[in-house]
Amino acid sequence: MEYKAISLHQPWASLIALEIKKRETRSWSTKYRGKLLICSTKKKYVPNSELINKIFDLTDIGAFDRRRLDFLGVNTTYTEYLPLGKVLCVVDLTNCDQMTANNGDNDDAFINGERPPLLEWLCGNWQAGRYAWELSNTNRLTKPIPIKGHQGLWIPDDSIIKEVKNNLTRD
């Protein structure tokens, strides 16, 4: 079975691992469908704190449900303590849809004629012409695995895939 990987800044990688972010928005399409490792970048990214607070307010992350965050090794509610340079989970990349403008408003994009839910919209860059990758069957690792990421979609080493398979929360 083929695996590919993508490196994402935090907190976006963890939001996918926690099944809060179900679509990854990109400026480019992909024909790849299959297993995708979600990796966090090593570089610290400082997102708009107002946006992150809004996302947290709309989820149980606002209360930081410890059962869901244990695998991240998070000991605080601050996003700067999320793991960097790690494989966090495996998802199935099942679809890739191009976004279309809502009544000519390129900054208010739809997928298949529907606006994404507010939480999903806050977690991505929803502009006409961009692409939304549909992610499903999220399987978190019991412990994040260190990895050297790359830009774009990339093929992880067999040793990483083996380690990932041995650390999944379910088969």
CB 13, CB 40: distance < 8 Å: yes
The whole-number average pLDDT for the span 61-70 is 48
Residue 13 belongs to some domain of the structure: yes
Q: What is the predicted pLDDT for the residue at 18?
A: 87
With vertex at residue 61, the alpha carbon angle to CA 123 and CA 80, rounded to the nearest 5 degrees, is 75
**What's the CA gap between 145 and 127, in Å, rounded?**
33
Strand partners for 93: 34, 135
Q: What is the pLDDT of residue 66?
A: 43
What is the DSSP secondary structure assignment for residue 66, as one 8-state letter? H
> Which CATH number goes with the domain that contains 47?
2.30.130.30
Phi-psi region of 123 (alpha: psi -120 to 50; beta: other; left: phi over 0): alpha
With respect to residue 112, please indicate whether it lies within any of the assigned structural domains: no
Q: Is residue 126 part of a domain?
A: no
Residue 43 has pLDDT above 90, yes or no: no
Structural domain total, the chain: 1
Strands 3-8 and 34-40: parallel
- Return the pLDDT at 75: 44
- Let me know if 171 is exposed, middle or buried by CB neighbors in 10 A (0-12, 13-18, 19+): exposed
Q: Is residue 105 part of a domain?
A: no
Smallest CA-to-CA distance from 52 within 42, 41, 61, 63 is with 61
Residue 118 lies in a domain: no
Residue 102 lies in a domain: no
Q: Out of 54-58, 87-91, 162-166, which region has the weakest mean confidence (pLDDT)? A: 54-58
Q: Is residue 31 a part of any domain in this protein?
A: yes
Structure confidence by residue, pLDDT tens digits, 78-130 = 455 678 999 999 999 999 999 998 777 666 788 888 888 888 888 889 899 99
The alpha carbon dihedral of 91, 96, 98, 102 has a sign of negative
Residue 54: domain span: 3-96+133-166
Q: Is residue 67 part of a domain?
A: yes
